[in-house]
Amino acid sequence: MNGQERFQAELGQIRNYCQEVVNNFDSEVESVEKVHEVCSSLRGMVGRLFCVAEELDDYLSGGFTISEEIQSDGKPLFDYINSFRRKSVYYDLLIFDEAVQELKRVLDESTDPHVIAAAYNGLGHLYAVKKMYPQAIYYFNKVVEFYPDNSDGYFNLGAAWFNLGSYDEARHYFHQAIYHHPDDWEAYFHLGRAYDKLGIVDSAMYYMQTAREKKYGFTGSVLVSG
């Protein structure tokens, strides 16, 4: 099934489940536990729906992503990458532990590799914004394992390794992000930053210049940190 068909199928399951609950539910008989069970099931279904919607949105918008800022802990801004990519804000409505639980529920219940990859990316994002980078890297690796063409997974791996100070690893993953999305100006820019951190100034200038050309469509001088 394509993305739209998967979305319609998930939406149909929610509709059928709600209809079944309405037909069979007796408010005077059903227990509080049953109410919680219904709510939990619906949250899991909606979680899967949002994961499918992420892939559909990515297809329709040509790779639209949302960036999340990360505090720098007083270190120079240039020492950090300030964004990780994900496409849905649904899990922002939940506290951290609840969001992790719901995404893991999606992993348990889905067999679609695109949905699984989106859930892994959501988990990686949750840990990354809390600066728990080893855990984030684990989940971002799962993204590219289930969806090898996902450029955002490689970008996020590069960002996580960069923030850990492992610039050679970051360079590798930004190259992969560019391979899968050649017009990703942001990946070019951060690849240039990684080269700058490694002291390879010519490459740093080249990739930062390329980022400028990709984003603005014109050439110009680029300064590196030195």
Confidence band for 178, pLDDT divided at 50, 70 and 90: very high
With CA atoms as reference, report the closest residue to 194 among 220, 225, 149, 219: 225
Mean pLDDT of 204-223: 78
Residue 60 confidence class, pLDDT cut points 50, 70, 90: very low
Distance CA 121, CA 146 (A): 11
Distance CA 114, CA 120 (A): 10
Give the count of beta carbons closer than 10 Å to the beta carbon of residue 146.
Answer: 19
Read off the tokens for 138. 């684990």
- Structural domains in the chain, CATH included, are 3-216 (1.25.40.10)
Q: Nearest to residue 85, comparing CAs of 153, 137, 36, 135?
A: 153
Q: How far is CA 124 from CA 121, 207, 208, in A?
A: 5, 26, 26
User: Is the pLDDT assigned to residue 72 strictly greater than 90?
Assistant: no
Residue-wise pLDDT for 7-57, tens only, equals 677 777 777 777 777 777 665 555 666 666 776 666 666 656 655 555 555
| Model confidence at 71: pLDDT above 80 | no
